[in-house]
Amino acid sequence: MKCHVPGANVKVLGRTVHALARFGDELYLESLPDCILLRTLNAAESAYAMVKFNKNFFSYFNYNYYSTEDNEGLKCKISMKSALNTFKSPTHMDKQVENLEIKLDADACKLIFQLKCRHGIVKTHFVTILDCKAMQAVYTKDTVPNRITSPQRILSDALNNFQSSDDQLTLEATPLSLILRNYIDCSIDLTKIIRTQITLKPAEFDSYVIGTETIITFSLKEFRALLAFAEALNLPLQLHFETTGRPAVFIVHNGITFEAHFVLATTKPDSTSQTTATQNTSVERKKRKDTTSTQGSVKKKPHLDMDVSKCLDEDSHLFNFVEIPDENFIESNNKQNGHVSKDNKNNSKVEAMDCDNIPASPTSKTIKSVFKRCFESTFDPRSIQGVILAENSDSD
Amino acid sequence: MKFRAVMIDAGPMREFSNVVTIISKLSKECVLRLTDDKLYFIVSEENSGPTPPILWCEIPQAMFCSEYQMLGLDEEHKDIYLSFSSGNLARSLVILKTAKSLKMKLTKKQCPCLTLEIEMPSTTSQQTRQVTHDIPVTVIPRKLWTDFHEPRIPDPDISIELPPLKQLRTTIDRMRTMTSEVVIRASAEGRLTLQIRTDMAKVSTRFKGLRVEAFGGPIDHSDSETETQMNEDMSRVCYCRVDAKKLSMFLSAEQISTNRTVCSIVHRKLVILCLTTDESVKLQCFIGGIVY
């Protein structure tokens, strides 16, 4: 494969690489007969990005430059760091670079970026190919009930109201309003954190269709990155999402030369943290959790749940979005809790209680709240009779 | 206990945001005292128990709020004292500069909160959007109220009007890079001198022709390390050595549309900086003198 990117588009490519760099550490490049795809996946496998550059994005595009027989398309994986090195300072790139040549040989072990700059300076980057695999996420964007097209400024203005320490965003979509909130894990001390809520009216958006009301929560870091991307290119952002637990797809495209899809995993919001749930129940729940005690296996649970919930499963050749239905999720939770409580005297009672205390979101709040409670001023050691805390944490 | 206030004018909202920003620079925590006619922001020295406050700011509610309602505990204890992170409030209020209205409420959402409802104009259309921040606060119990009474200060020996704060701030910031302490001298003739001394150099900056508001009689220099300067009547000069950092922090108040700032000095003991604005906000800062 060999292609030339004209100066103006080098900037777009640079922006893309910078946006993808905020998602993942590795960049997958796949060359097809009529386009080039760049993909990345974050470490937690909760965010995926794919940018497709059509043939007309390039001033010269030859898929079959090295005349390979292979019709499946050339694939390679490179480290994001080396890609970033090639596209330093994308803001000024269009002024310095006149042309960029990308070459990928099926037999070579290097991907070549050749930047032809002003005054006859040529910079060539030989980027080591780490792997020859491609990956792909399976997601739906066309059949989803909820679609919003937003001028990019609206959402980035709204996000400015959130604290930089906020890491997850809850989006509540109803036909009458779109509410953005910072997600608060119930293990976080509520007296320390600002709760922020922004209500946007549908009239602010270019188009606003909510088929099913829903509340989704996703990572703010990646969302900020993709908004910055849309803002830099001055393009509107399309939000396509279904319900809780299904991936949300964000699309930025200019209709002709390129199209970017950003897919973020969503989780259920924590009902106790935001709505005015009575405090009694949450305290009770904590007590029950205390009596359930914690074994080593529980300590690992948050990680396990985290991975499962991220909805991505790595295959040898393809990444598939594997949707884990909530039932499975609950079942595994119950199994674990049940297993743990066998050691307890009030075995059956605890298990029954746990059924209506299914954690709403797969966070590590169980473990956090158990330990947090020990340090609370109102902590009453009698409430956790029969459990030796020190031993439990040591047993891991 | 109830509290509700609404601001709708752009000028006061901007000023309110500025005041809160300055407070957040001076201290991480602050106390908001609400009374029938005024809001007070009080900052005590951090981690030093109940000491007299270092900052005392009064905001008359009538100049700022179009609506103001509050209800204390009972007839005897009409005030409300809230303590919270000043940074939280300042960050939430940054957007006030372009806001249409601000509504402040005391709410209970699992924990006591100061709820700010800000109406923002949309950047792209005629629509408005609603931004709500719940800032967790601690309600200060009655028995601790005495810690936040207005500090009783000795009568200053001199009160002198300060030159524009911006000039002072650049001067102090230059001096700060050389040493941590600065001597403020004020004379009854309207001269203000900022002085530092290091091993290598002695630097002083003089401001002349400043209005002297009050002068409390001859100053006794008998036990001090003052070096007399030529043709200056030392009995009409008083000074105080202060922490340059604290002084510089107060001077960041330059961004308030200042009416005037008066510097009062209790000879060698205390510097009181008092800033009053057009909207009758009074911002007082107390900086203790360093005595060897």
Question: What CATH number does the domain located at A146-268 have?
Answer: 3.70.10.10
With 70 as the cut, is the pLDDT of residue A291 above it?
A: no
**Residue A353, both tokens:** 């209680």
Please tell me which residue, B177 or A353, carries the higher pLDDT value. B177
Per-residue pLDDT at A69 = 63
Mean pLDDT of A105-112: 81
HEC profile of chain A: CEEEEEHHHHHHHHHHHHHHHCCCCEEEEEEECCEEEEEEECCCCCEEEEEEEEHHHCCEEECCCCCCCCCCCEEEEEEHHHHHHHCCCHHHHHHHEEEEEEEECCCCCEEEEEEEEHHHCEEEEEEECCECCCCCCCCCCCCCCEEEEECHHHHHHHHCCCCCCCCEEEEEECCCCEEEEECCCCCCCCCCCCEEEEEECHHHCCEEEECCCEEEEEEHHHHHHHHHHHHHHCCCEEEEECCCCCCEEEEEECCCCEEEEEEECCECCCHHHHCCCCHHHHHHHHHHHHHHCCCHHHHHHHHHHHHHHCCEEECCCCEEECCCCHHHHHHHHHHHHHHHHCCCCCHHHHHHHHHCCCCCCCCCHHHHHHHHHHHCCCCCHHHHCCCCHHHHHHCC
Per-residue pLDDT at B267 = 85
Residue A378's pLDDT band, with cuts at 50, 70 and 90, is low
**A63-103 per-position pLDDT tens digit:** 777 766 656 677 888 898 988 888 887 777 778 888 899 88
Per-residue pLDDT at B207 = 92
* pTM of the model as a whole: 0.71
Per-residue pLDDT at B231 = 60
Cβ of B109 within 8 Å of Cβ of A195? The answer is yes
If you write DSSP's letter for every residue of B29-91 in order, what string do you get? EEEEEE-SSEEEEEEPPTTSSS---SEEEEEEHHHH-SEEEEE-SSSS---EEEEEEHHHHHH
Per-residue pLDDT at A285 = 38
Per-residue pLDDT at A141 = 78
Cβ of A191 within 8 Å of Cβ of B125? The answer is no
Instruction: Nearest chain A residue to B107 by CA: give it.
Output: A276
Per-residue pLDDT at A393 = 45
Cβ of A201 within 8 Å of Cβ of B133? The answer is no
Please give the average pLDDT of every successive group of 10 residues along chain B, which has 292 residues.
90 88 84 89 67 79 89 83 89 87 89 90 80 90 81 84 89 91 90 91 91 82 57 79 87 75 88 87 86 78
Mean pLDDT of A355-364: 40
Nearest-CB residue to A201 (from B110, B129, B134): B129
- Ordered structural domains, chain B, with CATH: 2-148 (3.70.10.10), 158-223+233-288 (3.70.10.10)
Q: Which of B150, B100, B97 is nearest to B257 (CA)?
A: B97
A154: contact with B, CB 8 A cutoff: yes
Q: Within chain A, which residue ranges are assigned CATH 3.70.10.10?
A: 2-128, 146-268
Give the number of A-B residue pairs with CB atoms closer than 8 Å: 65
**A23-49 per-position pLDDT tens digit:** 889 899 888 888 888 999 888 888 899
Per-residue pLDDT at B193 = 92
Per-residue pLDDT at B229 = 55
Per-residue pLDDT at A68 = 62
With 50 as the cut, is the pLDDT of residue A242 above it?
A: yes
**Percentage of residues in chain A with pLDDT exceeding 90?**
7
Cβ of A163 within 8 Å of Cβ of B113? The answer is no
Residue A395's pLDDT band, with cuts at 50, 70 and 90, is very low
Per-residue pLDDT at A396 = 44
Instruction: Nearest chain A residue to B91 by CA: give it.
Output: A163
Q: Measured at the alpha carbon of residue A75, what is the angle toward residues A72 and A77, in degrees to the nearest 5?
A: 160
Per-residue pLDDT at B230 = 53
Per-residue pLDDT at A289 = 39
A279-293, A379-393, B231-245 — most confident range: B231-245
With 50 as the cut, is the pLDDT of residue A362 above it?
A: no
With 50 as the cut, is the pLDDT of residue A319 above it?
A: no
Per-residue pLDDT at A71 = 61
**Percentage of residues in chain A with pLDDT exceeding 70?**
66
Cβ of B127 within 8 Å of Cβ of A197? The answer is no
Per-residue pLDDT at B5 = 92
Per-residue pLDDT at A67 = 66
Q: B252 and B119 in contact (C-beta within 8 Å)?
A: no
Overall CATH class of domain A2-128: alpha beta
Per-residue pLDDT at B149 = 78
With 70 as the cut, is the pLDDT of residue A347 above it?
A: no
Q: Could you tell me which residues of chain B have a Cβ less than 8 Å from any Cβ in chain A? A: 88, 91-92, 95, 109-111, 113, 122-125, 127-136, 138
